[in-house]
Amino acid sequence: MKITMKIAVCDGRREDRTRVRELLEAYQQESGSEIKHLEIREYASGAALCADDEFLQSCKLLFLDINMEAMEGLRTARQIKEKYPAIHVILVTACMNYALDGYKVKASRFLLKEDLEQTLGECMDDILKEIGQESQTITLDFVEGKIQLRADEIIYIETNKHKNVFYTQNRVLNIYKKMDELEEALRGMGFLRIHQSFLINMRYIVKISSYLMTLTTGKEISVPKSRYPEVKRQYTLFKTAL
């Protein structure tokens, strides 16, 4: 199925923004990709990017220069991932000095500027596969009615008395269905069962440390000691696959 994709390109150098745009347009035309239409917006600073909330709400991909002045690239990446966790952030850099910091801000990929012609196409292939997985849907009979949800809409599911509660990006839904059944229905979509009462979308995890999981919403959830090694292992595998 052909899709329309919104992409942001943020770089202080006009020529570098133009280069990324041209490579993306060439990829769309030459690769036979699933992209029907590209909507690309360019930004000369992190501040200008973060101010464009309307575009970012539906943006899927950000190419961001990590080497902008005063560490602006890293700060911008962190702000974007906190407010718009569904956006895939590709850090474009002249050197790999900030690679470790990039992982801390949950970047999906690193691309060296000097290698863009060789690496951008493969990067786009991988990102499109990931977006396809995120776009998987599930239809369930909630208390509120029969509703279809995308996997990437669901932040986490929590057991509350005799119900399970879905916390999504913009609403809360209730269902009388066992957590084991929900876990099975969402298998392969990026969810992690951390104990009997919680099923977490791993895209929204900020960190797991000292038996505590922190989500992009700020919510903190305790991870049982008995499950902690396996939870860490599963999350590491998920991040490595991105």
Phi, psi at 52, each rounded to 5°: -90, 65
Alpha carbon distance 239, 236 (integer Å): 5
What is the tally of structural domains in the chain? 2
| C-beta of residue 202 within 8 angstroms of C-beta of residue 242 | no
State whether 186 and 76 are in the same domain.
Answer: no
Series of mean pLDDT values for 10-residue runs along the chain (242 residues):
83 94 91 78 94 92 83 82 86 72 67 92 87 83 95 93 93 96 92 95 91 92 95 86 62
- Determine the 3-state secondary structure of 61 from DSSP: strand
State whether 129 and 142 are in the same domain.
Answer: no
Burial 77-106 (b: 16+ CB within 10 A, else e): bbebbeebbbbbbbbbbeeeebeebbeebb
State whether 39 and 123 are in the same domain.
Answer: yes
State whether 67 and 25 are in the same domain.
Answer: yes
Relative to beta strand 145-150, strand 191-195 is: unpaired
State whether 12 and 126 are in the same domain.
Answer: yes
Q: Given this model, what pLDDT does residue 222 score?
A: 96
Q: Given this model, what pLDDT does residue 84 score?
A: 86
Relative to beta strand 88-93, strand 61-65 is: parallel
Alpha carbon distance 37, 3 (integer Å): 7
Instruction: Single out the residue in 78, 113, 134 at which a domain terminates.
Output: 134
Its pTM stands at: 0.66
Instruction: Single out the residue in 85, 101, 134 at which a domain terminates.
Output: 134
State whether 16 and 105 are in the same domain.
Answer: yes
State whether 66 and 87 are in the same domain.
Answer: yes
State whether 103 and 207 are in the same domain.
Answer: no
Task: Look up the CATH number of the domain holding residue 144.
Answer: 2.40.50.1020
Q: Given this model, what pLDDT does residue 68 score?
A: 75
Task: Give the residue ranges of DSSP H helices in the chain.
Answer: 14-30, 46-51, 53-58, 72-83, 99-104, 116-134, 179-185, 228-241
Instruction: Single out the residue in 134, 159, 182 at which a domain terminates.
Output: 134
State whether 156 and 128 are in the same domain.
Answer: no
| C-beta of residue 120 within 8 angstroms of C-beta of residue 102 | no
State whether 110 and 174 are in the same domain.
Answer: no
Show the tokens assigned to 133.
């997985």
Q: Given this model, what pLDDT does residue 110 score?
A: 85
Task: Look up the CATH number of the domain holding residue 30.
Answer: 3.40.50.2300
Domain range for 152 is 137-241
State whether 94 and 35 are in the same domain.
Answer: yes
> Which whole-number Å values give the CA distances from 140 to 39, 134, 179, in the listed order?
33, 17, 13
State whether 84 and 130 are in the same domain.
Answer: yes
